[in-house]
Structure 1
Amino acid sequence: MMAFFWQRALLVSLAVAVLVYADMKLDCGTDFVTLVWTEGRSRADTSLFRLGNCFPTSFSATEAVFSVDFDDCDFRRIVTGDRMMFTNDLTYSSDSTPLSFSHPVVCAYERPEDWYPRLYAPIFNTYGLGDLEFHFGLMNADFSGPAESTSFPLGSFIPIMASVAQESHQPLLLFLQECVAATTPELQPESTLYPIIANEGCLVDSLVSRSKFEPRQKSSELHLSLQAFRFGLGEEVFIHCKLVAWDPNSLDNTKKACHYVKEHGWEQLDNSASRYLCACCESDCKSRRVRSLASGKRGMAQQAVLGPLTITDVNY
């Protein structure tokens, strides 16, 4: 990475009681990160902390220290607009105590002007995660290639494609589980959001628009025709989504792609006979913890951000 990167660390806290009694310091270098976790009253075994798949570089009775490169520990690179982020998770688990948690770790930089995602135009972003590589981007009208513009008139369709390169894995079915629009590339507690997909795969925007999932061409791809909305009109808009690649033989109402069809109700994209999976779209679809391919052989999730794009008022 280049030395002129603007360095900034983003620390996102989870609502876990143990965090009250500990302190995390993060130093984001040009191509490495140093993380120091200092224990307080929780009395956790510091040797059991992991950053991605890495053991602590060093540890004592009160501290776990990681000094690692971004090429190690399964760091994930996310690129959106003029930002480049490297993300990972600091985790703790112990068989002898019920104490366990996961804490996000994010380093954010200015994207070099000469950096582009491999194989794709700048508006089509790539997210690597272990042996899976997620793609999330704006497409042209027939989904045959990247979009030529990031500006969309109000009421027109914004073609979005999500996909996952599976390599040697068994076939996986790709879903967009949660999506919101915001006017910032990062979600903050004070961010104003526009819900697009909620309740574990329900395209709630289709209740008030013509937005819909397009028929699948491949199990590893998902095409979304999103009708341009009034939210963020004239401003930069970013679409934040949770992508999930999942075993098609282990689906339930938390792994689905449902959109609302006027006069017909909720429809399930992949199998009309399983539209019962959409029955919870206007109530509460019970969520369960996503297990990794390494531990559960079921699937994997990845957060992604698309943008910036602009929605313009056709009256001007």
Structure 2
Amino acid sequence: MVQRSVALMKAELGQLPDSHADLASAPEGWGDISQLEHVKRRYWGRYAASAVIVALIAYVVLAFAHGQIEWRYVGRFLTARSILIGLGNTIVMTVLAMGLGILLGVVTAIMRLSTNPVLQAVARGYVWLFRGTPVILQLLLWFNLALVFPTLGIPGLFSLRTVDVMTPFLAALLGLGINQGAYTSEVVRAGLLSVDTGQYEAAKSIGMPRLQALRRIILPQAMRVIVPPIGNELVGMVKLTSLASVIQYAEMLHNAENIYYANARVIELLMVAGIWYLVVVTVLSFAQSRVERHYARGTGRSASRQPRRERRKPE
């Protein structure tokens, strides 16, 4: 009675029989899955989303292609002398500000990991202050530093007017570089913490000083973690230099603005600046991938890029 009830339940649920006897008594074609029709699954939501995205892209492309944009002006000003000078100033500011930021970031990260409470407090305060205020505010403060310190120098030895020292270039360098150092310090600190503590203990056991151990053992291993976010920060710095236009630094966007103030070709000059930003970011992204591959050697992530091992010759 119980076996019959179980068999009826299986039949109602559409389950396959689980014994040879049941399989023999099952209807013809019960266990032959080749007779079943294969129905391909339809992803209607995916198709609809793709169609909407393609339509939006086509709409934007057509709007720019047939809009009130004189593309001949884009080609004309793409290699204009003022734009190329601004491009050079953008690249120089990016390299110098990022170099200052990396230097300050490494020093601050080491101070954060120090056992000295004073160094820890100073590092925490620096990160708190410069991460907590907008970059444009810091640029304006550096540029107007003469309102707080009219002169700079050592009393009795030399004195300089702050308004003469704090040029747009120096104000942009200090504003962008010091702000970047606060963010870079957290990236470097995360990379240092990713290294196993046994590496520190091994260096200490052979009498290696802490700074030497950081330079020769810890930092080379931490670079695999540090390089990707630092590369991302470098790409961000290229675009962040555009904020220096508010303090009259002659970077690319500032020079493009000066041109369209004169000829009223606003969109055309903005397109020129956008094209050059994309070119610089593309080059830096390629360089970043090469550096990441260099520091990923010997890890599992780089195994797929290593040459295949030679096959053993038969003995």
**TM-score over 0.5 for the pair:** no
The two structures have a TM-score, normalised by structure 1, of: 0.18
Please identify which structure carries the higher strand content: 1
Q: Kindly indicate whether structure 1 or structure 2 has the higher relative contact order, using CA contacts under 8 Å at least 6 residues apart.
A: 2
- Between Structure 1 and Structure 2, which shows a larger proportion of helix residues? 2
Rg comparison, structure with higher value: 2
